[in-house]
Amino acid sequence: MAELGPIKSGADSSASAINSSDQVVGSSDGHAVLWESDGQGNATLTDLGKVKGERTTWGGSINDAGQAVGFGHSTSGGGVTRTAFLWENGQMTKLIDLIENSEGIGGLDAFGINERGEIAGAIRGDGYSHAYIARPSTQAPPSPGITVEPTDGLVTTEGFGTDTFTIVLDTQPTDDVTIALSSSDTSEGTVSPDSVTFTATNWDQPQAITVTGVDDADADGDAPYTILTAPAVSGDSDYGGLNAADVDAVNLDDDAPSGGVTVVSVTSRDIRLGGKYNITASIRNEGPAAVIIHVDCEVEDSSTDIQQLTTREVTIEPGVTANVKFNDYSDSSKVSAGMCTAWITVEEDPTAEGSDTFKLK
């Protein structure tokens, strides 16, 4: 028989359970303690501490994984409080905090833990005691990660309109985690703050990030940009270097367009007696929607009577078709903003003589 020794000189001590690695759990001077043998007849004592809020704590059982259980208790005003604990990986946790739907459960004792991590004990209340067994959840613990919500769909305006998203950690870090934020195009949108820091205390509290639109004088249309999240900086190896998702946004233009529909490029064809040709023009619309009320044409050889040239079946993408007669400009065709292509069928009067080149202006 070997003396394990108390937590301090003169204190009482008692041992309650031992596992196959010769780890012994018990109590000394009101603390739960753990003795570990070095195989040479010497034992090292580890103070597991007290359950917070309880006067004394007793270590009751330990399994081969080194998980220990027990309970703390206090006496006050003629009543007794009892709080079971689980000790693992150097940390003591109240068992009640690990139990789902624990509302209404009174005091807990924990007397034993097996190799599957199942804990046996008693639920205590006023005048009653009920045996229980608590089994570990089969759900895998969350992995370290950074959640960004949402990652797209943010809308700002050139009137300094704002939108927001949030960032939060998925697990508690062992060291502070800092994430820098920036805009891919500060002429369209800015981000505030420019970094967020999570600690072991606020890691599960989403931090709101504000994105603000930037104004300019150009009628440049709605502009997409991205809020960039830099790799996390942390002494926690699970989080250091971890890169969260970027966030896509669009800044709505508020400038009125100037100019109108202009021809950017055009093909030309010789028109011979009775000929019919397609002429393709690239058209730029500088405004939102514009209306073509006529098509200007020119003929390089003045010997051809321009009044005998007619444009037909003018098709301007997307999907707008109109018959535009050169002579009376009676019809119109609507052009959407941006670049588009027009196909124009040109037909010369069969009675005309000679050949000429027809161009769209």
CB 227 within 8 A of CB 244: no
Of residues 103 and 154, more confidence is placed in 154
Q: How far is CA 42 from the centre of its chain?
A: 53
- Indicate whether 358 pLDDT > 70: no
CB 165 within 8 A of CB 189: no
Please tell me the distance from the alpha carbon of residue 5 to that of residue 273, in angstroms, as a whole number.
Answer: 118
* Exposure class string for 159-168: b at 16+ Cβ within 10 A, else e: eeeebebebb
What is the bridge-based pairing of β-strands 154-157 and 247-252?
A: parallel
Q: How much of the chain, in percent, has pLDDT values that exceed 70?
A: 65
Task: Encode pLDDT of 125-151 as tens digits.
Answer: 666 788 988 888 766 667 899 999 999
Sign of the torsion angle spanned by Cα atoms 194, 200, 202, 208: positive
Task: Encode pLDDT of 164-182 as tens digits.
Answer: 999 999 999 999 999 999 9
CB 191 within 8 A of CB 211: yes
> Of 3, 35, 39, 40, whose CA–CA distance to 19 is shortest?
35
In this prediction, residue 1 carries a pLDDT of 63
| Averaged pLDDT for residues 189-195 | 97
Please tell me the distance from the alpha carbon of residue 183 to that of residue 246, in angstroms, as a whole number.
Answer: 10
Please tell me the distance from the alpha carbon of residue 226 to that of residue 148, in angstroms, as a whole number.
Answer: 13
By mean pLDDT, which of 59-68, 94-103, 232-241, 258-267 is the weakest? 258-267
For residue 177, give every residue at least 6 positions away whose Cβ sits within 8 Å of its Cβ, in sequence order, or none. 169, 197, 198, 199, 203, 232, 233, 234, 236, 239
In this prediction, residue 277 carries a pLDDT of 45
In this prediction, residue 77 carries a pLDDT of 67
Q: What is the DSSP letter of 305?
A: -
Please tell me the distance from the alpha carbon of residue 344 to that of residue 296, in angstroms, as a whole number.
Answer: 12
In Å, what is the CA distance from 39 to each residue of 4, 44, 109, 131? 13, 11, 32, 37
pTM greater than 0.85 (yes/no): no
**What pLDDT band is residue 263 in, cutting at 50, 70 and 90?**
very low
**What pLDDT band is residue 103 in, cutting at 50, 70 and 90?**
low
- Indicate whether 105 pLDDT > 50: yes
- For the chain, give the mean pLDDT: 75
| Averaged pLDDT for residues 178-201 | 97
In this prediction, residue 10 carries a pLDDT of 77
- Indicate whether 13 pLDDT > 80: yes
| Averaged pLDDT for residues 257-282 | 45
Task: Encode pLDDT of 73-91 as tens digits.
Answer: 888 766 778 889 999 988 8
- Residue 266 gets the label, from left (phi > 0), alpha (psi -120 to 50) or beta, of beta
In this prediction, residue 81 carries a pLDDT of 82
Q: Which stretch, 93-97, 247-251, 283-287, 330-334, has highest mean pLDDT?
A: 247-251
- Indicate whether 335 pLDDT > 50: no
In this prediction, residue 100 carries a pLDDT of 72
- Residue 204 gets the label, from left (phi > 0), alpha (psi -120 to 50) or beta, of alpha
